[in-house]
Structures are given as C-alpha cells and as structure tokens.
Structure 1
C-alpha cells in the first residue's frame, strides 16, 4: 500500500505555516510563553520513550484502537507510516515486532501539535537556540528542500532519542514537529521517510 506521499509532506507544511504571528516580536513572545508552559501528561514528550499516551514499542493495534484508521500513510518492505490528521497531526512509523511478522510495533512517533512538550517546555515553535540549550548534543541529521525552495532542517539528539524539524518563520528558526525515537538510533534510520515529497540534500 502506498498512499500519496506528497499529501503527507503537504499536511506537515500546512500545519507549520498556520497561525503565524504578525511580527518577529510577537513570534519571540509567543515562543517564550510556549517554552514556559508545562505539558499535560497526555501530551508530555519523553525522549526515547513516548509522546503523550503513545509509546515506542507499543502494539499498533492499540494505537489503531485509540486513533482509528490512519488518514494517510505509506508502506513498503514491512515498514509503514500511519498519519492521523486532526487538531494535531500524529504520525507513527512501525515495523514488525519479530520474524513471525504477525504484530507491528511503533518505532518512531512524530507530533506537531502545540500542546506536545518536553518536561521543560520544548515543542512546536520553540526556537532552535532554546532547543540546543536543553539538548546540547543536538546535531544536524538531514536537510530537505521543497519545490517552492522552502527548507526543512532535522536536528537529532541520537543518544536521548528525540529529533526536531526546524523551519524558518519570521526570520527565526523554529521547531515545526518533534520525533520521539529509540535511544542510540538515528532519526534517519527508517526505510520510509516522513518527509516524502521533499528533496533530501546530500
């Protein structure tokens, strides 16, 4: 099964473009407020473990029971992305749990909702500079460009198990989505990419 990969990228682009502040000052003030806001338990980002009520290693049947059938996705070679759109967009990358190939488990969880935050308030619209202060081992993992010359940078703290999509908005480099992945495993270690429709630079 392979569903339109362009729609996946378009959905994340649309989310990150929404609700742009009218000025750089407003953007900075908005980022400060969001960074200071604690995450509710159902939206807490725990690197290497979970995004709210969704956790790495979770059986996909239980995720389907919570979210229903995915709105979009991509699948090949025993790997799959499931995408759910709504107030927040959630994407889950899964693989077979073992060689029996009768059970799938979550390997990466991507969220772009405003409420999803780490314990110290890092999440969507947090400036890259602030993220680096909380995750000093953060390293560039990939760069993508769109047909409209938009650029998306992925920064990963591999040891911790968390990565951040970064885009420029009102002159600032801000987080547009957060990926929770297994510790010591690079965020790019997937057969399929959530950034389908974008061109990955060498």
Structure 2
C-alpha cells in the first residue's frame, strides 16, 4: 500500500515529539524524586544537639561515654571537684555564659579507669525533650508529661529549689514560682538521693 511521503514525515515528527516529551519527563522525575528522598532521609538521621533524652543523652553527649567526649567539644572545665574516682565538672560556654553545663563522672577503679558520664545537668532553655519540656517549663507541664517524686529541697543564694525525679531517668529542679531552672539526665536504674554535687559553687563563675 502506498503511503504519501508527507504523511510519513508527519508521523515521524509526532513520534519524535512524543519520545522527546517522555524523555524529558523521565529525566525530570529521575532528578527530583531521588533528591527529595535523599534529603528526607538525611534530615531524619541528623542528631539534635538540643534534645534531652531521659536516661540516655543530652544532645550529642551520651551517658556512659568517656568525659573526654565533652572535653573535646567544650574544652577544659571552668570548675571541678573530684575525690575517690568521682568528679563534677562545670563549663560556662562563650555563647551561653549564664547557663552552666555540668557533668558527674565516675571511674570503676581497678576495672575501668575511664571517667564515664553518669549524670548531665543543663540550665539552658534551648535543651528540650521531644515533648518540649525543659528549663522554663512549668511544674504543671512537666507533671503532665512525667510522673514525679520529690527527692530533694535545697537553698542557694537565698532561694529555695525542689528537685523532682522521674523514673525515666530525668530530674527537674524547680523554683518557688514552680518553674524549671535545671534539668538532669541520669541512669534510670541508679537511685540518686541527691543532685547537689552537680550545682556549681557561686564563685566558680568565671
């Protein structure tokens, strides 16, 4: 059967146009979809430097890690006290000089001479749990999130503070206005009767 040349040319032109559109569409999807997937995956894997995880961590610092991980990040402590394999270290960082960051570490003398992190105390409001609980939270908001029990009351600079502990491995220091002024992350399996050593002495502020 004879097919006019002009019809052949039109058919070929339409076929080429369809292939071109399909190719462009395929390339567009190939570029965009994997990129979106990679971006989402990367974001989900990024650690949160401001996250409080009860019984586990504060930001990048993990309970059970060597204190050297903090020293590498923050430098030499601004204040400290040590005895019998136990130590308290306090930092006043340049970007948050009014919010001391404290560690309580201990060594398993004779078995493990590494000073390992047992408790971390923060006073900066930038640290929050996944429920947005942290310094600045009200006692009501905290108690709505965690079952609490009073473990200590102390006086400092003429003010009275109460320490509330939760079984998950987190404790909250609350002032007389029922506002959180400090958060302590600790091992939930270890009974801690007092958190006083983690509070820096007033003269330790540089």
Q: Taking structure 2 as the reference length, what is the TM-score of the superposition?
A: 0.68
Higher helix share: 2
| CA separation of 1:142 and 1:196: change in aligned 2, threshold 3 A | farther
Preserved contact between residue 152 and residue 166 of structure 1 (Cα < 8 Å): yes
The alpha-carbon distance between structure 1 residues 56 and 152, as it changes in their structure 2 partners (threshold 3 A), is: same
Higher relative contact order (CA 8 A, sep 6+): 1
1:82 alignment partner in structure 2: 89
2:27 maps to which residue?
A: none
CA deviations on 1:156-182 (whole Å, 9 max, x unpaired) are 01x2000001113xxx31000000000
Residues in 2 aligned to 1:178 and 1:123: alpha-carbon distance in whole angstroms: 7
Runs of 5+ in structure 2 lacking a partner? 1-46
Partner in structure 2 of residue 106 of structure 1: 117
Name the CA shift for 1:119/1:100 in 2 (closer, same or farther; >3 Å).
Answer: same
Distance 1:80 1:188, change over 3 A: same
Aligned partner (choices 156, 163, 171) of residue 165 of structure 2: 156
How far the C-alpha of 1:188 sits from its partner, in A, is: 2.8
CA distance in 2, matches of 1:195, 1:155: 15
Asked if the contact 2:122–2:184 (Cα under 8 Å) also holds between the matched residues in 1, the reply is yes
CA RMSD of aligned residues (A): 2.1
- The alpha carbon displacement at 1:113 in A equals 0.7
C-alpha distance in 1 between matches for 2:114 and 2:156: 35
Change in Cα spacing, 1:117 to 1:187, as seen in structure 2 (3 Å) is farther
- Which residue is 1:142 aligned to? 152
User: Cα gap change, 1:45/1:196 in structure 2, threshold over 3 Å: closer, same or farther?
Assistant: closer
Match of 1:183 in 2: 188
- Is the CA contact 2:79–2:90 (under 8 Å) kept in the aligned structure 1? yes
Give me the whole-angstrom Cα distance separating, in 1, the residues matched to 2:78 and 2:200. 16
Matched pairs, number? 152
Unaligned runs of 5+ in 1: 1-39
Give the TM-score taking structure 1 as reference length.
0.69
Match of 1:173 in 2: 178
**Residue 193 of structure 2 corresponds to residue 193 of structure 1:** no
> If you compute each CA radius of gyration, which structure gives the higher value, 1 or 2?
2
Question: Contact conserved, 2:103 with 2:198, CA < 8 A, in 1?
Answer: no
Deviation at 1:147, TM superposition (A): 5.7
1:130 matches 2:137: no
